[in-house]
C-alpha cells in the first residue's frame, strides 16, 4: 500500500484522512487489532472502517512498527479491490486470495490499494505453501442488515507460510468475537454521534413548538446546537429568498442569505444587523469568495454533504478548494480556527441557508459521523424554520383579519349611526305631512310609500348596529337571571297584531315555569320575537304557529314551528349568513334585511346556546333554540 494511496491532490479524488471517530473509538479498534495480530500470529493486522463518503479509512494497524505510521489514515474507495476479492476463496468470515489467482487488473489494484510487503518473489512452482507479497487474507465485516461496516486485513504470517483450509476455518472461528467487537465499536461510534445530535435537535424542536418568532427559534438553536457540535461558535444563516430545487443561485441567491440578515426570513425581523460573511468577525472577505460559498452550499445540498474548511484544504467542494484555498487559510488564521464546517439547511425541496460551525485548534477534530448527523440536524432545523415561518405568517394573517373585522364593525356602526338621524327626520316630517288636511290621494299614497321605505331603512340601521355590537368582543353586557317564560309572553303579545293582520294563529303550547337563563333581556327578547315574526311572515292565511318552552336536564329549549312555505336544503346551508336572502321567489316577495337570523345566531352563541333548523319545502319550518339554565 503506497503512502499516498495513488490519490490526486484534488478535493474530489483525495480523501480527508483521519476523520473517523474520536480518540477513544480509535484506541478501542487499535486494541482489537493488536489482539487479532497476536492470536492469529500475523505480523500485520489492518482495520479499515467504511465512512459515509464511500471511503474505507485505515483506523488501526498492529504489528510491524515500520508500516504503522504511513498506513494510518489512508483512504480507499470501497469498491476498489472488489476485482481482487472475486479471485479468492471464502473460509467462514475470511477470504484468502493467492497471488497467482489474481488477474492482471486485480494485481494492479492490489499494488495501488493493497498492502504489499517487501517479500522475495517466488515462482509459482517453487514452494507453493510459502506466503507471497500479493497474497491477501481479509475479512469483510457486516452488520445485522448485511451492510458493510469494516474490513480487516491480515498479512505476513510469522510462519511465512500459507494457512491450509482447516487452519483458515479454525482461525475464522477463533476471531469471531474480535470481528463482532469491531462491528460493535463502529456502530457505537456512529450511534453516539447520532444520539448526541438527535438529542440536541429534539430539544431544539420541543423548545420551538408554539413559537411564532423565527428570531427566537434561531437564537435558541444556536445555543443548543453549539454545545451538541462541541463548537467554539455556531451561527445560523437564513437566506432572504427560498431557492427552489434545481435553480442555480446567482448574485441574488443563497449568497445574500449567508451575508444578509441571519435572524429572519424576507427581512421580517427589524433591527438585526446584517453579517458581512459566513466567517463571522471578518471584514475583508472578497465578493467572489462570498459568491462561491453560496454556490458551494447549493452543490453541497444537491449532493447531501457538508463543506469542511481546514488549513491547507477545503473538503467537499473542489471549486472552493482550487480557487480560494489560500484566502480561506488567511481567514482561518485571523480567526484562530482549525475548522469551519458549512452544513446546508434544506427541507421540502428548498434550500433555506446554512449552519456555520467553528472549532478552535484546542477542540476535537470534526469527524465523518458528525457530518452525517449534521445533515440530519440541518434538515430538522430547516423544517422547524418552515413551520415557524408558516405559523408566523398565519399569526400575521390573523392579526390582519382581526384588524379588518374591527374596521368593518366600526364602519357598520358609523354608517348605522349616521343613517338614524336622517331617517328620524324623514319619519318626523312624514308624520307632519300626514296630519295636513285635504291632501290629494296620490300625495297620500306617496307619503305612505316613503314612510314604509324609511321604516325599512330604520330597521336595517338598527339591525346593523346590533350586529356590530354583537361582533365586538368588548361589548358584552352583564349577565342577569332572565325568565324566558315572561320574555315569550311579551313577544307573543307584541306579535299578535301582525299575526291577526296575516290571519295566522299563535298557539303557545307547553310553557314550563322557572325557565331561567343568564343573559341580556333585550337580546333574548330579540331572539324570540324575531323567530315568531319570521314564522308569521312566511305562513299562509289560516296557518298556525306553535310555540313551546320546555325545561331539560341542563337547559331551556324554545321551539317555533310553522306551516309555511319551508326552506330548501341549499338555503338552509346559508340561512345564518349575513345579508342572505332566500332563493325562493315567494320568500323574496316578503320584506327583509337578511340580518335577522344572523343576529339571532350570534345572541344564542353569546349566551352559550345553540340553534337549529329543520324544514321541508311546502311543509313548514321547525326552529329550536337551546340555552343553558341558570344555576
pLDDT at 104 over 60: yes
Please give the Cα distance from 61 to 329 (Å, whole number): 32
Q: Which three cell numbers stand for residue 526?
A: 330579540
Residues 6+ apart with CB under 8 A from 302: none
Q: Which three cell numbers stand for residue 55?
A: 471511503
Fold match, 23-188 / 194-393: yes
pLDDT at 412 over 80: no
Report whether 613 contacts 572 (CB < 8 A).
yes
320-341 pLDDT per residue, tens: 999 999 999 988 998 899 999 9
Q: Which three cell numbers stand for residue 425?
A: 327626520
Please report which confidence band the pLDDT of residue 172 belongs to, taking 50, 70 and 90 as the band edges.
Answer: very high
Phi/psi zone of residue 489: left (φ > 0), alpha (ψ -120 to 50 degrees), beta?
Answer: alpha
- pLDDT given for residue 269 in this prediction: 34
Average pLDDT estimate for 181-208 = 74
Residue 537's φ and ψ, nearest 5 degrees, are -60, -40
Q: What is the dihedral of CA 616, 619, 620, 621, to 10 degrees?
A: -30
Please give the Cα distance from 36 to 105 (Å, whole number): 30
State what percent of residues in the chain have pLDDT above 70.
Answer: 80
Q: What is the dihedral of CA 433, 437, 438, 442, to 10 degrees?
A: 30
Q: How far is CA 399 from the centre of its chain?
A: 22
- pLDDT given for residue 599 in this prediction: 85
Please give the Cα distance from 481 to 465 (Å, whole number): 25
Residues 6+ apart with CB under 8 A from 147: none
Helix (H/G/I), strand (E/B), else coil: 269:
coil
pLDDT at 210 over 60: no
Other C-beta atoms closer than 10 Å to the C-beta of 100 total: 14
- pLDDT given for residue 447 in this prediction: 79
Give the CA angle between residues 365, 366, 368 to the nearest 5°: 130
Average pLDDT estimate for 117-121 = 73
Report whether 354 contacts 297 (CB < 8 A).
yes
pLDDT at 593 over 70: no
Please give the Cα distance from 416 to 560 (Å, whole number): 30
Please report which confidence band the pLDDT of residue 200 belongs to, taking 50, 70 and 90 as the band edges.
Answer: low
Task: Give the end-to-end CA distance of the chain in Å, rounded to a whole number.
Answer: 91
Report whether 220 contacts 325 (CB < 8 A).
no
What are the residues facing 339 on neighbouring strands?
359
- pLDDT given for residue 366 in this prediction: 85
- pLDDT given for residue 139 in this prediction: 95
- pLDDT given for residue 411 in this prediction: 72
Please report which confidence band the pLDDT of residue 216 belongs to, taking 50, 70 and 90 as the band edges.
Answer: confident
Give the lowest-confidence range in 153-157, 169-173, 279-283, 564-568: 279-283
Please give the Cα distance from 42 to 40 (Å, whole number): 6
Q: Which CATH code of 3.30.565.10, 3.90.660.10, 3.30.450.40, 3.40.50.1820 fits the domain covering 23-188?
A: 3.30.450.40
The domain defined by 477-628 carries CATH number 3.30.565.10: yes
Average pLDDT estimate for 56-73 = 82
- Helices 287-303 and 318-335 meet at what angle, rounded to 10? 120
pLDDT at 491 over 70: yes
- pLDDT given for residue 162 in this prediction: 92
Average pLDDT estimate for 71-90 = 85
- pLDDT given for residue 374 in this prediction: 87
- Helices 596-606 and 521-537 meet at what angle, rounded to 10? 140
378-407 pLDDT per residue, tens: 888 888 888 777 777 777 888 888 888 777
pLDDT at 278 over 60: no
- pLDDT given for residue 91 in this prediction: 94
pLDDT at 265 over 70: no
Report whether 529 contacts 491 (CB < 8 A).
yes
State what percent of residues in the chain have pLDDT above 90.
Answer: 26
Please report which confidence band the pLDDT of residue 531 belongs to, taking 50, 70 and 90 as the band edges.
Answer: very high
Q: Which three cell numbers stand for residue 368?
A: 465523518
What is the overall mean pLDDT for the chain? 80
> In the 3-class helix/strand/coil scheme, how is 177-225 assigned residue by residue?
HHHHHHHHHHHHHHHHHHHHHHHHHHHHHHHHCCCCCHHHHHHHHHHHH
Give the lowest-confidence range in 198-212, 418-432, 441-455, 493-507: 198-212
- Cell 348605522 belongs to residue: 416
pLDDT at 169 over 90: yes
Report whether 320 contacts 307 (CB < 8 A).
yes
- pLDDT given for residue 246 in this prediction: 43
C-alpha distances in Å from residue 383, one per residue of 215, 242, 334, 370? 15, 13, 34, 20
User: In sequence order, what DSSP letters do the residues of 277-330 get, joined into one string?
Assistant: -SSTT-S---HHHHHHHHHHHHHHHHHT--EEEETTEEES-HHHHHHHHHHHHH
- pLDDT given for residue 377 in this prediction: 86
Please report which confidence band the pLDDT of residue 260 belongs to, taking 50, 70 and 90 as the band edges.
Answer: very low
- pLDDT given for residue 422 in this prediction: 80
Domain ranges of the chain: 23-188, 194-393, 396-473, 477-628
Please give the Cα distance from 576 to 562 (Å, whole number): 18
Helix (H/G/I), strand (E/B), else coil: 93:
coil
- pLDDT given for residue 270 in this prediction: 31
Q: How far is CA 596 from the centre of its chain?
A: 44
- pLDDT given for residue 340 in this prediction: 93
Q: Which three cell numbers stand for residue 46?
A: 489492518
User: In sequence order, what DSSP letters do the residues of 330-383 get, joined into one string?
Assistant: HHHHHHT-SEEEEEEEEETTEEEEEEEEEE-TTSPPP-HHHHHHHHHHHHHHHH
Burial class (CB in 10 A: 0-12, 13-18, 19+), 598: buried
Which of 490, 486, 523 lies closest to 603 in space, CA to CA? 523
pLDDT at 12 over 60: no
Please report which confidence band the pLDDT of residue 3 belongs to, taking 50, 70 and 90 as the band edges.
Answer: very low
- pLDDT given for residue 473 in this prediction: 53
Please give the Cα distance from 533 to 98 (Å, whole number): 105
Average pLDDT estimate for 261-275 = 33
SS3 content of the chain, % helix, strand, coil (to 5): 45, 20, 30
Q: Which CATH code of 1.10.287.3610, 3.30.70.3290, 3.20.20.100, 1.10.287.130 fits the domain covering 396-473?
A: 1.10.287.130
559-569 pLDDT per residue, tens: 999 988 888 88
- pLDDT given for residue 9 in this prediction: 37
- Cell 483512504 belongs to residue: 75
Q: Which three cell numbers stand for residue 253?
A: 441567491
Helix (H/G/I), strand (E/B), else coil: 611:
strand
pLDDT at 92 over 90: yes
Q: Determine the CATH number of domain 194-393.
A: 3.30.450.40
Average pLDDT estimate for 201-225 = 70
Please give the Cα distance from 533 to 496 (Å, whole number): 10
| H or E stretch at 170 | helix 165-174
Please report which confidence band the pLDDT of residue 266 belongs to, taking 50, 70 and 90 as the band edges.
Answer: very low
pLDDT at 7 over 50: no
Give the lowest-confidence range in 119-128, 450-459, 526-535: 119-128
pLDDT at 258 over 80: no
Amino acid at each position: 500500500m503506497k503512502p499516498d494511496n495513488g490519490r490526486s491532490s484534488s478535493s474530489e479524488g483525495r480523501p480527508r484522512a483521519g476523520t473517523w471517530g474520536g480518540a477513544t473509538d480509535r484506541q478501542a479498534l487499535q486494541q482489537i487489532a493488536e489482539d487479532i495480530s497476536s492470536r492469529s500470529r500475523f505480523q500485520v493486522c489492518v482495520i479499515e472502517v467504511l465512512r459515509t463518503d464511500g471511503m474505507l479509512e485505515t483506523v488501526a494497524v498492529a504489528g510491524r512498527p515500520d508500516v504503522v505510521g504511513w498506513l494510518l489514515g489512508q483512504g480507499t474507495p470501497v469498491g476498489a479491490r472488489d476485482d481482487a476479492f472475486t479471485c479468492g476463496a471464502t473460509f467462514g468470515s475470511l477470504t484468502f486470495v493467492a497471488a497467482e489467482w489474481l488477474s492482471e487488473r486485480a494485481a494492479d489494484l492490489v499494488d495501488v490499494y493493497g498492502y504489499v510487503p517487501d517479500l522475495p518473489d517466488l515462482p509459482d512452482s517453487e514452494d507453493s505453501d510459502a506466503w507471497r507479497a500479493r497474497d491477501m487474507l481479509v475479512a469483510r465485516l457486516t452488520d445485522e442488515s448485511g451492510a458493510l461496516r469494516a474490513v480487516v486485513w491480515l498479512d505476513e504470517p510469522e510462519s511465512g507460510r500459507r494457512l491450509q483450509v482447516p487452519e483458515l476455518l479454525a482461525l475464522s472461528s477463533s476471531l469471531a468475537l474480535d470481528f463482532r467487537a469491531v462491528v460493535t465499536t463502529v456502530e457505537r461510534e456512529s450511534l453516539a454521534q447520532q444520539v448526541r445530535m438527535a438529542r440536541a435537535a429534539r430539544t431544539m424542536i420541543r423548545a420551538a413548538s408554539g413559537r411564532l418568532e423565527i428570531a427566537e427559534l434561531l437564537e435558541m438553536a444556536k445555543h443548543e446546537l453549539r454545545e451538541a457540535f462541541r463548537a467554539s461558535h455556531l451561527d445560523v444563516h437564513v437566506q432572504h429568498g427560498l431557492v427552489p430545487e434545481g435553480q442555480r443561485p446567482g448574485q441574488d441567491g443563497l449568497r445574500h442569505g449567508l451575508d444578509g440578515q441571519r435572524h429572519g426570513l424576507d427581512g421580517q425581523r427589524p433591527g438585526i444587523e446584517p453579517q458581512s460573511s459566513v466567517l463571522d468577525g471578518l471584514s475583508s472577505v472578497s465578493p467572489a469568495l462570498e459568491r462561491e460559498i453560496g454556490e458551494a452550499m447549493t452543490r453541497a445540498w444537491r449532493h447531501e454533504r457538508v463543506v469542511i474548511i481546514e488549513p491547507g484544504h477545503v473538503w467537499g467542494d473542489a471549486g472552493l478548494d482550487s480557487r480560494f484555498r489560500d484566502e480561506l487559510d488567511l481567514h482561518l488564521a485571523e480567526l484562530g480556527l482549525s475548522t469551519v464546517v458549512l452544513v446546508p439547511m434544506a427541507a421540502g425541496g428548498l434550500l433555506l441557508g446554512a449552519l456555520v460551525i467553528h472549532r478552535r485548534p484546542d477542540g476535537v477534530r470534526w469527524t465523518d459521523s458528525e457530518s452525517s448527523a449534521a445533515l440530519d440536524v440541518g434538515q430538522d432545523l430547516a423544517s422547524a424554520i418552515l413551520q415557524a415561518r408558516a405559523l408566523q405568517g398565519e399569526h400575521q394573517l390573523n392579526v390582519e383579519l382581526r384588524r379588518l373585522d374591527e374596521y368593518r364593525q366600526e364602519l357598520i356602526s358609523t354608517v348605522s349611526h349616521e343613517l338614524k338621524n336622517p331617517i328620524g327626520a324623514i319619519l318626523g316630517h312624514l308624520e307632519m305631512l300626514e296630519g295636513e288636511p285635504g291632501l290629494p290621494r296620490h300625495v297620500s299614497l306617496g307619503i305612505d310609500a316613503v314612510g314604509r321605505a324609511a321604516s325599512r331603512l330604520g330597521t336595517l340601521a338598527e339591525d346593523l348596529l346590533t350586529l356590530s355590537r354583537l361582533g365586538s368582543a368588548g361589548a358584552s353586557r352583564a349577565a342577569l337571571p332572565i325568565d324566558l317564560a315572561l320574555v315569550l309572553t311579551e313577544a307573543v303579545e307584541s306579535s299578535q297584531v301582525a299575526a291577526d293582520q296575516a290571519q295566522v294563529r299563535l298557539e303557545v303550547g307547553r310553557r314550563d315555569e322557572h325557565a331561567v337563563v343568564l343573559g341580556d333581556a333585550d337580546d333574548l327578547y330579540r331572539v324570540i320575537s324575531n323567530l315568531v315574526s319570521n314564522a308569521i311572515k312566511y305562513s299562509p292565511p289560516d296557518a298556525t304557529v306553535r310555540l313551546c318552552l320546555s325545561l331539560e336536564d341542563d337547559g331551556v329549549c324554545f321551539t317555533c314551528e310553522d306551516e309555511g312555505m319551508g326552506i330548501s336544503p341549499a338555503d338552509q346551508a346559508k340561512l345564518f349568513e349575513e345579508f342572505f336572502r332566500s332563493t325562493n321567489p315567494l320568500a323574496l316577495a316578503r320584506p327583509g334585511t337578511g340580518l335577522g337570523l344572523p343576529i339571532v345566531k350570534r345572541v344564542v352563541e353569546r349566551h352559550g346556546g345553540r340553534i337549529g333548523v329543520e324544514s321541508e319545502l311546502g311543509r313548514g319550518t321547525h326552529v329550536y333554540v337551546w340555552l343553558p339554565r341558570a344555576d
